[in-house]
Every structure is written in C-alpha cells, then in structure tokens.
Amino acid sequence: MQLKYLIFETKDGLPVPVIFSELLQHNTVSVANAKPVSGGFVSLIGADNDGVFAAPHGESISLQLKPAIGDSQLIESYLNKLSPPATEVRDGNW
C-alpha cells in the first residue's frame, strides 16, 4: 500500500505534514485553519538508528499539488521526533 501526504501551512506560516492511506483522496484531508501547499505520495524507508528517510514523489491530482523542495526533510524531521530508534522498538524498550 502506498502512502500519500500533504504539507499544510497554518495562518502563522508553520508547515504541518500529514501522512495518510492511499485509500483517501488528497482533497478529503484537512487541517483546521491551514491550507495545503504541497503533496503527493511518499515512500518511507527505515534505517535502524539513522531514523526514517522520506522520498516524496508523484502528485495530488485532486488538489493539483506536487512535492516541494524541503518536503522530505520536513517529513523526516516530524517522524524522527515522534519515533524512537528502530533498535528500541525491536528490543521492546519503547
């Protein structure tokens, strides 16, 4: 199953990444008081203690958006802050 993503921009100019199932259309996903500014599909690659790597690709046809420069770094930053290293999960320390 592929993953889709959108980057929303809040009124304050803060970027908010949202990752979701390919079963949803981009135009059905929203964040209160924010507008979508880029999006498409994203492949996530885990690498033990190096964290998650994100590879945006494709586009959102329903919103007419494409990946933007910096999307991969933004997604990686959010996911790596939320996720413990893979060794901790594997060892049951999470």
Q: How do strand 15-21 and strand 34-46 relate by DSSP bridges?
A: unpaired
Q: What pLDDT band is residue 92 in, cutting at 50, 70 and 90?
A: very low
pLDDT at residue 48, rounded to an integer: 62
pLDDT at residue 5, rounded to an integer: 98
Distance, in Å, from the CA atom of 53 to the CA atom of 33, rounded to the nearest integer, reads: 28
Are residues 83 and 45 in contact, defined by beta-carbon separation less than 8 angstroms?
no
Give the DSSP per-residue string, 56-87: EES-BTTTTB---TTHHHHHHHHHHHHS--HH
Q: What pLDDT band is residue 90 in, cutting at 50, 70 and 90?
A: very low
Q: What pLDDT digit, counting tens, does each position of 13-47 carry?
A: 999 999 999 999 999 999 999 999 999 999 998 76
Show me where the domains of the chain are located: 3-88
* pTM for the full predicted model: 0.83
Q: What average pLDDT does the segment 69-92 reach?
A: 72
What DSSP designation does 28 have? G
**What percent of the chain is predicted at pLDDT more than 90?**
71
Q: What pLDDT digit, counting tens, does each position of 75-86 carry?
A: 999 988 875 554
